[in-house]
Amino acid sequence: MANPLKAILASGMSFLKRDTAQSVVGIDIGSSAIKVVQLRRKGGKAILETYGTLALGPYTKGDVGQVTNLPPEDIAKAMIDTIRESNITTKDCAIAIPASSSLIFTMDLPGIIDEKTLAQVIPTEARKYIPVPISEVSLDWSIIPKATSDEEGTIERNEILVAAIHNDTVARYRSLATTANLNAAFFEIEVFSSIRSVLTHDLSTVMIVDIGASKTKITIMEYGTVKRFHVINRGSQDITNNLSKSLSIPFTRAEEIKRETGLSRNVQDQAIPDTVKLVMDYILTEASSVLLDYEKKYNKIVSKVILTGGGALLKDIIPEAKAAFRNDVVLGTPFDKVEAPAFLEDVLRVAGPEFSVAMGLALRELEG
């Protein structure tokens, strides 16, 4: 059987080479919701056909916005419901694997090792980073060339980006696709899907901050290549939980207030933005530390920060992020990469950050 994870690290930046009317769907199974995007390629362009999201909280008799840990049968049911409610018409799909179920790291190896030998060396070296037998994971890697200096002069080094997914995880997601009666062309770590959908062909150094429900993923890109990856164990649900506790209100109402108010100071009760700010300050401070550490190590400036994920939809988050990063900060706009009806332009721009992973999956699948 062909490895559905072949080329985990594929850039996916040169899509739409062939013309076909075939539709494809990207499926992002998050911790609090499932997001789907269906695209079709026509005339050398990607056409948006439909998209949608479904909260997972109610499947545990919980609330919208709550982080869940559903058994496979319930996730499969939720996938089927999402596909039906979003009017998805194709069974050809690609599915994201959460960063929490994968491992992304870099290794530094001597540049004198040729690429053929690297293929043998990397799995051996990767054992130092992977807490399970190497035979139990699907492994992919790519070279990030660099030069470092010592007292004797300049020594060429190879910095290697490595991505690993446990084979049991792959089997579980393949089973979900089968149960939902879908044809999964491939599985991809969510980070790379998000990068594909929000990154342009700009070769400058960019940091992507993906604020999910339970975690925030930090990725620093240079020349279209991942140079640094970091996970912060805070997300948008932490904001809702804090609001619920501090205001003594149900989770559902706290979620509504978070969405309505966010960090906006234009409210009578200043306890709301103050509470929201506590979590966001933690996330932004951690992310800023990653940025500064990168700039110091590589002596390079990050030119822009892109916010994506559902948490990026928080009101007035851009001014807070600009102050924290002291940098240009923008929201990810994945729907800009596809053609859609003009009357949906404003809606898609607002919703975009939440669908960056699903969009990135669909774009890669269109490559064929």
Q: Encode pLDDT of 293-347 as tens digits.
A: 999 988 999 999 999 999 999 999 999 999 999 999 999 999 999 999 999 999 9
* Token reading at 154: 């300049």
Contact predicate 263/280, CB 8 Å? yes
Residues 244 and 276: their CA atoms lie apart, in Å, by 11
Beta pairing, strands 137-150 & 153-166: antiparallel
Residues 216 and 293: their CA atoms lie apart, in Å, by 17
Give 39's pLDDT tier (boundaries 50, 70, 90): very high
Give 53's pLDDT tier (boundaries 50, 70, 90): very high
Kindly report, residue by residue over 26-38, the tens digit of the pLDDT.
999 999 999 999 9
21 pLDDT more than 80: no
Residues 347 and 359: their CA atoms lie apart, in Å, by 15
- As a whole number, mean pLDDT of residues 136-143 equals 87
* Token reading at 331: 């929201």
Contact predicate 338/39, CB 8 Å? yes
Residues 33 and 56: their CA atoms lie apart, in Å, by 5
188 pLDDT more than 60: yes
Give 73's pLDDT tier (boundaries 50, 70, 90): very high
State the pLDDT at residue 368: 61
* Residue 274 CB contacts under 8 Å (≥ 6 apart), including other chains: none
Give 190's pLDDT tier (boundaries 50, 70, 90): very high
Higher pLDDT, 140 or 10: 140
Average pLDDT over the chain, rounded to whole?
88
State the pLDDT at residue 158: 80
Q: Return the closest-CA partner of residue 71 out of 146, 175, 207, 187.
A: 175
Residues 54 and 355: their CA atoms lie apart, in Å, by 12
Q: Is 113 exposed, middle or buried (0-12, 13-18, 19+ CB in 10 A)?
A: middle
Classify the phi-psi angles of 199: left when phi > 0, otherwise alpha if psi is within -120 to 50, otherwise beta.
beta
C-alpha dihedral (172, 175, 177, 179), degrees to nearest 10: -130
State the pLDDT at residue 187: 92
* Token reading at 200: 């342009």
Give 85's pLDDT tier (boundaries 50, 70, 90): very high
Kindly report, residue by residue over 241-265, the tens digit of the pLDDT.
999 999 999 999 999 999 999 999 9
The whole-model pTM stands at: 0.89
Q: Is 60 exposed, middle or buried (0-12, 13-18, 19+ CB in 10 A)?
A: middle
Indicate the SS3 state at residue 209: strand
Give 100's pLDDT tier (boundaries 50, 70, 90): confident
- For 2-41, give one letter per residue: b (16+ CB within 10 A) or e: eebbeebbebbeebbeeeeeebbbbbbbbbbbbbbbbbbb
Indicate the SS3 state at residue 64: coil
Contact predicate 53/34, CB 8 Å? yes
* Residue 56 CB contacts under 8 Å (≥ 6 apart), including other chains: 30, 31, 32, 33, 34, 66, 68, 70, 75, 78
Residues 180 and 17: their CA atoms lie apart, in Å, by 30
Contact predicate 194/210, CB 8 Å? yes
* Residue 297 CB contacts under 8 Å (≥ 6 apart), including other chains: none
- As a whole number, mean pLDDT of residues 209-213 equals 96
